[in-house]
């Protein structure tokens, strides 16, 4: 094992979305993450889900928590773990007999990571939801979209992954660090409504200063003509992020606006918001005069802060991403590489995604079970 978390052991109770993302990130950083799947999910043919990128880097044991010995199997794993990840609704693991109190009694240094949408308490705690619901109540969704149009869901990047799984992983690492000093574990209550709200901290600052108004009229949400996406002659797109004065001046020069290429007069003062709508139309017309590749050649290597909007396939082939190996092909599947990078403890993908229960015997033995005990658990149906 390599990576800064090498030597850490984490039990992940199988779930969807943000929980697996946290497990993937921790595994990428070198932690040994053992996923506990339900025996009911065992594939009939034992095939690996090769396209399950979120499942990479972990081994899997299959456990039936309701069978004799199933609950105790998980608790024995907990005894040797630094942390646990679970993504059930509040109260579920308690009912299964593997809640925080029971686990911390077995292992006082355990960091018990809980991933939910609404959190462990509050009026909505036991209510169903998805990313779009959590970012709606945190205010995030209201920020995203163009003026006069409905809010646009940003895939599920902000609730599930940015404000959810990534902050859960951060919380677990913080908990492990603190436990190494105090000798005491604790519960990490990671909620997507909380995490997505945290990601808007800068916007709340802008708002307090009176610098944030209606959706789609502000500096960073397509209100500004120099922070916008424009269509090119061939149907491609360019992103403009020319905020600082020197970058703005370079963009104005390279688009031809400085030379009054469209014969509409000089460019107005950058921060005069009354001119933004008209300048947006003016720049849009100029961008439509050339193809995306033509504009890319013009802006390549400059500080204008203009870039082509790439598809996923194009992004994986871009020379910068290729040189940095931002994307890798692993087991035949192109996917993002682990990030961030470390100078002394390099990170890597620890392995392909596992089929549920693929490593039950070998992993249990490595975590302290005897071969005979594993066979007994198989016979009772506790593991599969």
Question: Strands of 111-116's sheet, edge to edge?
Answer: 59-63, 32-38, 9-13, 83-86, 111-116, 186-191
Query: Is 130 one of the catalytic residues?
Result: yes
| Per-position b or e across 283-296, b if 16+ CB within 10 A of its CB | beebbeebebeebb
Return the closest-CA partner of residue 74 out of 105, 110, 36.
36
Which of 130, 189, 237, 262 does the annotation list as catalytic?
130
Angle between helices 18-28 and 166-182 (to 10 degrees): 60
Query: Is 318 one of the catalytic residues?
Result: no
Which of 160, 221, 330, 359 does the annotation list as catalytic?
160
Q: Is the peptide bond before 174 cis (omega within 30 degrees of 0)?
A: no
- Helical segments of the chain, H only: 18-28, 70-79, 92-96, 100-106, 131-137, 166-182, 192-198, 201-208, 245-255, 276-287, 292-299, 312-317, 319-324, 360-366, 371-380
Catalytic residue list: 130, 160
């Amino acid at each position: 094992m390599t990576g800064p978390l090498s030597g850490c052991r984490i039990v992940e109770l199988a779930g969807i979305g943000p929980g697996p993302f946290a497990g993937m990130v921790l595994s990428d950083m070198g932690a040994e993450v053992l996923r506990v799947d339900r025996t009911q999910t065992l594939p009939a043919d034992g095939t690996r889900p090769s396209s399950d990128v979120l499942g990479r880097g972990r081994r899997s044991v299959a456990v039936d928590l309701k069978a004799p010995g199933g609950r105790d199997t998980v608790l024995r794993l907990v005894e040797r773990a630094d942390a646990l990840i679970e993504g059930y609704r509040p109260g579920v693991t308690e009912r299964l007999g593997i809640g925080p109190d029971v686990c911390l009694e077995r292992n006082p240094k355990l960091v018990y990571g809980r991933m939910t949408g609404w959190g462990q308490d509050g009026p909505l705690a036991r209510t169903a939801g998805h990313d779009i619901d959590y970012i709606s109540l945190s205010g995030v969704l209201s920020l995203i979209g163009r003026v006069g149009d409905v809010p646009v869901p940003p895939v599920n990047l902000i609730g599930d992954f940015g404000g959810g799984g990534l902050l859960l992983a951060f919380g677990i690492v913080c908990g492990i660090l603190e436990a190494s000093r105090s000798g005491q574990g604790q519960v990490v209550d990671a909620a997507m409504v909380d995490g997505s709200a945290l990601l808007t901290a800068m916007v709340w600052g802008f708002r307090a200063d009176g610098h944030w108004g209606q959706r789609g009229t502000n500096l960073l949400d397509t209100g500004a003509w120099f922070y916008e996406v424009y269509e090119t002659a061939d149907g491609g797109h360019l992103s403009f992020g020319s905020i600082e004065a020197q970058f703005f001046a370079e963009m104005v020069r390279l688009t031809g606006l400085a030379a009054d290429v469209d014969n509409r007069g000089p460019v107005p003062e950058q921060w005069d918001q009354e001119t933004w709508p008209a300048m947006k139309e003016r720049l849009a017309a100029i961008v439509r005069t050339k193809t995306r590749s033509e504009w890319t050649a013009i802006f390549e290597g400059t500080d204008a802060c203009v870039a082509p909007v790439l598809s996923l396939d194009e992004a994986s082939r871009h020379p910068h991403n290729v040189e940095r190996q931002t994307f890798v092909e692993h087991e035949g599947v192109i996917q993002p590489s682990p990030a961030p990078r470390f100078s002394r403890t390099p990170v890597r993908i620890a392995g392909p995604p596992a089929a549920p229960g693929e490593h039950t015997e070998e992993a249990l033995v490595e975590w302290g079970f005897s071969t005979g005990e594993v066979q007994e658990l198989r016979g009772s149906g506790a593991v599969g």
